[in-house]
């Protein structure tokens, strides 16, 4: 009983896949599995924490995704609308600030607007308790990557040890490779 409850609970923080960097995420595979929209976290996923700089390989990955027909949407909890919009503009994609992850409203609102289902969406991010939890709660596919840089934001920094424990536990339970 306790075991099955734990399993049920862990499903909400268990990414479907885990890669080192966003550029490792296989786009052809995603498209074949029916994914049409890629929600992507900003800080430590697309850019180093608090930076406006997107590396050349990440820019190329975004270009490739667009060329394949994916819609790409930055979904960030950061409150600086201007910064999120600026980075999104540079990449030629959509940007949503103050998304309130792990809450689902930003995702649902956008999916409804585009007439897509959660099954057609993936969320890629570096934080289990915001990015992955939001995706799993919304019924979307979730891909965890390793943070690009050390987290400077307090809540992100204290989350990291818990995330590492969660990853160990998920691996131990054989929920994650
Ligand atoms: Mg992040």
CATH of the domain at 96: 3.40.50.1000
pLDDT band at 56 (very low <50, low <70, confident <90, very high): very high
How many angstroms is it from 150 CA to the middle of ligand 1?
10
- d(C-alpha 66, C-alpha 53), whole Å: 19
Phi then psi for 31, rounded to 5 degrees? -65, -45
CA of 11 to the centre of ligand 1 (A): 20
Ligand 1 centroid distance, CA of 173 (Å): 25
Q: For residues 31-60, give the mean pLDDT.
A: 96
State the residue range of the domain holding 144.
2-172
User: What whole-number distance in Å separates Cα of residue 23 and Cα of residue 84?
Assistant: 20
pLDDT tens, position by position, 134-160: 999 999 999 999 999 876 666 677 788
CA dist 115 and 83 (Å) reads 27
Note whether residue 47 is domain-resident. Answer: yes
For the chain, helix, strand, coil in percent to 5 are 45, 15, 35
In-domain check, residue 167: yes
Distance, CA of 132 to CA of 111 (rounded, Å) = 17
In a domain, 177, yes or no: no
Measured in Å, residue 109 CA sits from the centre of ligand 1 at 21
Cα 69 to averaged position of ligand 1 atoms, centre (Å):
24
In a domain, 39, yes or no: yes
Q: How far is the CA of 131 from the centre of ligand 1 (A)?
A: 8
Question: Is there a domain that residue 117 lies in?
Answer: yes
* Confidence (pTM): 0.93
pLDDT value at 161 more than 90: no
Say how many Å lie between the CA of residue 77 and the centre of ligand 1: 9
Residue pointed to by tokens 């995330």? 163
Does the pLDDT at position 175 exceed 80? yes
Quote the number of domains for the chain: 1
Decide if 132 is inside a domain: yes
Ligand 1: centre distance to CA 31 (Å):
24
Q: Please say if the pLDDT value at position 50 is more than 80.
A: yes
Mean pLDDT of 96-105: 95
Mean pLDDT, the chain, rounded, equals: 93
């Amino acid at each position: 009983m306790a075991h099955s409850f734990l399993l049920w609970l862990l499903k909400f923080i268990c990414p479907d896949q885990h890669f080192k960097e966003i550029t490792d995420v296989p786009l052809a595979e995603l498209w074949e599995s029916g994914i049409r929209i890629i929600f992507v976290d900003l800080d430590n996923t697309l850019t180093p924490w608090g930076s406006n700089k997107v590396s050349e390989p990440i820019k190329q990955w975004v270009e490739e995704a667009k060329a394949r027909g994916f819609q790409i949407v930055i979904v960030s909890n950061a409150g600086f609308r201007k910064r999120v919009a600026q980075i999104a503009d540079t990449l030629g994609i959509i940007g949503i600030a103050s998304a309130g992850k792990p809450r689902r409203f930003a995702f649902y609102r956008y999916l409804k607007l585009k007439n897509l289902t959660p099954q057609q969406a993936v969320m890629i991010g570096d934080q289990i308790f915001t990015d992955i939890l939001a995706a799993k709660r919304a019924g979307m596919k979730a891909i965890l990557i390793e943070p690009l840089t050390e987290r400077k934001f307090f809540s992100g920094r204290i989350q990291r040890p818990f995330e590492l424990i969660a990853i160990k536990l998920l691996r131990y339970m054989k929920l994650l490779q």
